[in-house]
Amino acid sequence: MNIIRSRNTLPLVIICFFTMQVFAQDIEDISSFQFKHDEIVPSVFNSPSYNFSELKNNQFYLYASDSDSSGNGLTPEQQAKRLEIIAKMTANPIGNAWMIWLQNDWSHLEGDFLDDNDLGGQMVNSTKFQPVMPFPFKIGDDDWNFLVRPVLQYQSVPLSEQGGLTPSDRTSSMGDTALLTLVGPSKLDGFVWAVGATQIFDTAEEDVTGQGKYQVGPAVLVASLAKNAGGWNRGALFQHWWSQSGDEDRADTSLTDIQYFVNYRLSTTELVGMSPNIKYDWKAAGGQRLTLPVGLGYSNVYQLGPLPVRVAVELQYNVVRPDDLGVDWNLRFMFIPVLPNPFVEF
């Protein structure tokens, strides 16, 4: 097994180095990260669903207070309001929150190919590390965000390194690396949108865990986010990639991915709903192109030590999938620590 291919490593190294440097500084500053009511950033907290008048002349801590690293120095009302704001920020794809998005997917394969070869159901496991980093800026008097979201993934697939599908052989290695960049207005709730670019870098350690191509295309986000508990969050992130360069022996790509979400705000921090990924492979044969999932999941925001964390689990089922070989169900776990944005002054 070779180290990640050197010709494609530089973008990944730069992303990882910058991310770790900023996150290290964030964690160092968490114990003193605080703001006063009079200094709340309007673009983050100017929402009719919040009334901070009871906090006048009091310090309101978004993260841990100096006196208590877990935030227990707050009154119950302040703690609840704090977690409510953080929950809304984490549910906003173009929001101000910096997050370390850890995601693990267990996917069950089915199809005629497996049946014809008496291979039975096979499992694919994918672990994704996604730092979510919005950088604020202004256009006139309006607040905007430039969001950078690299996606590093570790894949475990039921394939030999030569590509053969067998019950006993598995290959586990780093896969291709994606990079999503979006620009859009900064809002806590209501209608939000963003546009940008999406790229996939050929960084897979093994051929069977990557596509062997550098790919690039557009990205568009549209969403409607509920202001209060009892409302619905609805939206979709559209991405499309075309292969531009890479291994000439590998097939060209043209792939659309639509991650849609429909979530009901069960409480100020809880969500119930789904956020699966529709996929359409334009290069596949006619009946093998579409994967259309539905799902049901639950997520909530908790205080774990000095950090608020969103934890989620979701079961998804593909009502439409390729006949030859495709995923019929997927179990997704998410663990998302939230960090203070170092570029926003509270």
DSSP 71: S
Q: How many CB atoms lie within 10 A of CB 169?
A: 14
Beta strands per DSSP E along the chain: 35-36, 59-60, 98-110, 122-139, 142-157, 171-174, 177-185, 190-201, 213-225, 232-246, 254-265, 271-274, 277-281, 290-304, 307-320, 326-339
Q: What is the pLDDT of residues 80-131, one digit of tens each?
A: 888 899 999 999 999 999 999 999 999 998 888 777 666 777 889 999 999 9
Contact 41, 346 (CB under 8 A): yes
What is the pLDDT confidence band of residue 287, given thresholds at 50, 70 and 90? Answer: confident
How many domains, in total, are found in the chain?
A: 1
Find where tokens 């997520």 sit: 299
Q: Does residue 307 belong to any structural domain of this protein?
A: yes
Token duo for residue 117: 């070869």
Structural domain harbouring 208: 6-339
What's the CATH number where 258 sits?
Answer: 2.40.160.40
Is the sign of the CA dihedral 242, 128, 204, 4 positive or negative?
positive
Q: Does residue 96 belong to any structural domain of this protein?
A: yes
- Spatial neighbors of 82 by CB under 8 A, at least 6 apart, are 60, 61, 62, 71, 74, 308
pLDDT at 343 over 90: no
Q: What is the CA radius of gyration of the chain?
A: 21
Q: What is the pLDDT of residues 142-182, one digit of tens each?
A: 999 999 999 999 999 887 766 556 656 788 999 999 999 99
Q: How many CB atoms lie within 10 A of CB 330?
A: 20
Q: Does residue 346 belong to any structural domain of this protein?
A: no
What is the pLDDT confidence band of residue 186, given thresholds at 50, 70 and 90? Answer: very high
Q: Does residue 1 belong to any structural domain of this protein?
A: no
Q: Does residue 345 belong to any structural domain of this protein?
A: no
Q: Which residue in 343, 325, 267, 270 sits closest to 302, CA to CA?
A: 270
Q: What is the pLDDT of residues 28-37, one digit of tens each?
A: 444 333 333 3
Say which residue, 83 or 43, is predicted with more confidence: 83
Q: Does residue 180 belong to any structural domain of this protein?
A: yes
Find where tokens 């776990």 sit: 333
Confidence at residue 3, expressed as pLDDT on a 0 to 100 scale:
38
Q: Does residue 319 belong to any structural domain of this protein?
A: yes
Q: What is the DSSP string of 131-143?
A: EEEEEEEEETTEE
pTM, 2 dp: 0.79
Q: Does residue 211 belong to any structural domain of this protein?
A: yes
**Letter for the amino acid at 175?**
G
Contact 147, 134 (CB under 8 A): yes
